[in-house]
């Protein structure tokens, strides 16, 4: 029973890790990457959609992103979404596609992004800790209701701590990799 509960909770840990991965990948590093803009919300025919759902995104070189919408009516909405985003990018509307040239990052901006990465990772760690606490409360409740033993609680704590350590290691690895990419190392 406890193993099944932990297995189900591990899916929630995966969701928290994936969310952190998406948040971190959207932080620009001075190199062009489709991930930088793919999740931007674009107003298209009165419906908010992700950019990747309405356009092909490519990177012909290290400093340029090309966005080719499948419907030309989407160009204005895409351009507006990019301008209004917090990315600080200037899209160029070329009629049938949008071109974005990625400017080099200043040292100040790199340090600012490093702090943001740290915040995103810490948010994921907090979410994982909350999930662990929720799980332990469920096990404690099961012990109170006599559907689980006291040994199950201790075993669950040990198993959860191993899982938490594993996920914190993945978050640390993700953070280190992105910071190195950001600092150009």
Domain ranges of the chain: 2-25+106-183, 34-101
CA-to-CA separations, 182 to 30, 105, 106, 175, in angstroms, rounded: 7, 9, 11, 10
Q: What is the pLDDT of residue 28?
A: 67
CATH architecture of 2-25+106-183: Orthogonal Bundle (1.10)
- Residue 173 φ/ψ, nearest 5 degrees: -60, -45
Structural fold of domain 34-101: Gyrase A; domain 2 (3.30.1360)
Q: What is the pLDDT of residue 168?
A: 92
* Of 25, 4, 22, the residue nearest 14 (C-alpha): 22
Q: What is the pLDDT of residue 44?
A: 86
Site of tokens 């662990």: 132
Cβ of 13: how many Cβ atoms within 10 Å?
22
Please tell me the distance from the alpha carbon of residue 8 to that of residue 77, in angstroms, as a whole number: 40
CA-to-CA separations, 131 to 48, 55, 108, 142, in angstroms, rounded: 30, 36, 35, 17
Q: What is the pLDDT of residue 123?
A: 92
> Which residues on neighbouring strands pair with residue 69, listed in sequence order?
55
The per-residue pLDDT string of the chain (185 residues; one tens digit each, 9 = 90 and over) reads: 677 777 888 888 888 888 888 888 777 676 777 888 888 889 888 888 898 899 999 998 888 999 999 988 889 899 988 888 877 788 998 888 999 988 877 888 888 888 889 998 999 999 999 998 988 888 888 888 888 788 878 888 888 889 899 999 999 999 999 888 887 75
Question: Which DSSP helix (H) or strand (E) runs through 176?
Answer: helix 150-183
Q: What is the pLDDT of residue 88?
A: 76
């Amino acid at each position: 029973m406890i193993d099944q509960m932990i297995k189900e909770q591990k899916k929630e840990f995966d969701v928290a890790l994936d969310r952190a991965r998406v948040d971190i990948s959207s932080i620009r590093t001075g190199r062009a990457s489709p991930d930088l803009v793919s999740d931007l919300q674009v107003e298209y025919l009165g419906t908010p959609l992700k950019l990747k759902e309405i356009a092909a995104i490519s990177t012909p070189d290290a400093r340029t992103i090309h966005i080719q919408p499948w419907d030309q009516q989407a160009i204005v909405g895409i351009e507006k979404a990019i301008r209004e985003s917090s990315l600080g990018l200037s899209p160029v509307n070329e009629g049938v596609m949008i071109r974005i040239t990625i400017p080099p990052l200043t040292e100040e901006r790199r340090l600012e992004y490093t702090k943001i990465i740290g915040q995103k990772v810490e948010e994921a760690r907090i979410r994982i800790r909350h999930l662990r606490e929720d799980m332990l409360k469920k096990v404690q409740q099961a012990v109170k209701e006599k559907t689980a033993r006291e040994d199950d609680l201790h075993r669950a704590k040990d198993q959860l701590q191993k899982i938490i350590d594993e996920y914190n290691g993945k978050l640390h690895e993700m953070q280190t990799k992105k910071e190195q990419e950001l600092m150009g190392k």
